[in-house]
Chains A and B, each alone.
Chain A
Amino acid sequence: MITEEHLPALQGMFPSWITTCSAAGEPNTTVISQVWYVDEEHVALSFQFFNKTKKNLVENPNAFATIVNPGTMAMYNLDLEFDHSETDSELFDDMDMKLEAIASMSGMSGIFNLKAADVYKVKSLKALGS
């Protein structure tokens, strides 16, 4: 499902957006700094301070994300299903290091704090407008 074409949009160079909703159906939309490639069928999102998103995912595993290729501005919509969280793994360490680099570059060092790498199954991936 995820191919080489999509990888530039999964390098954290441009913000991504995610919408989740509570069990009661209340949507929540927010920006995230990084969508991380795990394998052809999974991505990971950084769980930092968007607590409502995390709370929603506990209640309802469905999420919708948009990623952007920073070179071409091609956008892709991903239907996601929360799978599991990692706090002690190579994936977590890689994301933590990258996040700190992004924070340093944007003057937000010490504010971004990775609490977990949340791994999602990609149920569909569509180019925006297709």
Chain B
Amino acid sequence: MIPEQTLEALANGFGHLGSASADLKTAHTDILSASVDQENDTVTCFALSFLAGPTLDNMKATGRVSYFFGLMSHEAYQFKGQFIETRELTESELAQSEQFCKAIAEILGSMGIAPEATMKLVGTAPDLGITFKVENIFNQTPGPEAGQELPFN
């Protein structure tokens, strides 16, 4: 089971999905929320296919995944694991991402960022699910516990 304490940040945190090529060059791509399959310990990240190419190519070649996500409160986590598949997003996942994007737009708006600028960040709906099996979870919230591995399974 993926720890309960990470679920809010998984759904509502801004994420970046990272990978590395066989020759140790890295890449990452923006993620607009994610869903969890507790039965199989997998996470599906909601990605934009036009941005995810290099990151996805690496994952297909090496299998390894890092997923960093965090809330505005600075609460943050990093999941590491094994790439499984890409798939289409479900209606429910698209609705979840839409809510996420609206919330981010409101936060950025409250910071004085113009709506047209905000749309560059969260104005395009994700069109690709990238699923990986979670193997390790690390606390990334700034402070003395940053980097500590969370008990898992």
Residue numbers of A with Cβ under 8 A of B are 17, 19-21, 23, 25-31, 49-52, 60, 62-64, 66, 68, 70-75, 79, 106, 108, 111-112, 128-129
If A49-B142, A49-B147, A51-B147 touch, does A21 touch B20 (CB 8 Å cutoff)? yes
B140 contacts the other chain (CB 8 A): yes
Kindly report which residue of chain A lies nearest to residue B124, judged by CB atoms.
A129
If A21-B24, A52-B147, A62-B24 touch, does A26 touch B64 (CB 8 Å cutoff)? yes
B65 contacts the other chain (CB 8 A): yes
A97 to chain B, nearest CB (A): 19
Can you list 7 A-B contacts (CB < 8 A)? Answer: A19-B20, A27-B18, A27-B66, A50-B146, A63-B26, A72-B120, A73-B118
Contact between chains at B28 and A64 (CB < 8 Å) = yes
The total of interchain contacts (Cβ-Cβ below 8 angstroms) comes to 102
Known: A17-B28, A19-B27, A75-B120. 10 other contacts (CB 8 A): A29-B68, A30-B78, A72-B117, A73-B113, A73-B117, A73-B118, A73-B119, A106-B74, A111-B143, A129-B51
The proximity string for B residues 1-37 relative to A, scoring 1 for CB distances below 8 Å and 0 otherwise, is 0000000000000001111101011111010000000
Interface size class of B (residues with CB under 8 A): 35 or more
The proximity string for B residues 80-105 relative to A, scoring 1 for CB distances below 8 Å and 0 otherwise, is 10000000000000000000000000
By CB atoms of chain B within 10 A, which of A17, A28, A29, A108 has the most?
A29
Contacts of B146 in A (CB 8 A): 49-50
Specify which of B65, B121, B147 is in contact with A27 (CB 8 Å cutoff).
B65
Residue numbers of B with Cβ under 8 A of A are 16-20, 22, 24-28, 30, 50-51, 58, 62, 64-68, 70, 74, 76, 78, 80, 108, 113, 117-121, 140, 142-143, 146-147
Contact between chains at A25 and B68 (CB < 8 Å) = no
Specify which of A31, A62, A112 is in contact with B26 (CB 8 Å cutoff).
A62
B28 to chain A, nearest CB (A): 4
If A64-B28, A70-B113 touch, does A19 touch B18 (CB 8 Å cutoff)? yes
A117 to chain B, nearest CB (A): 19
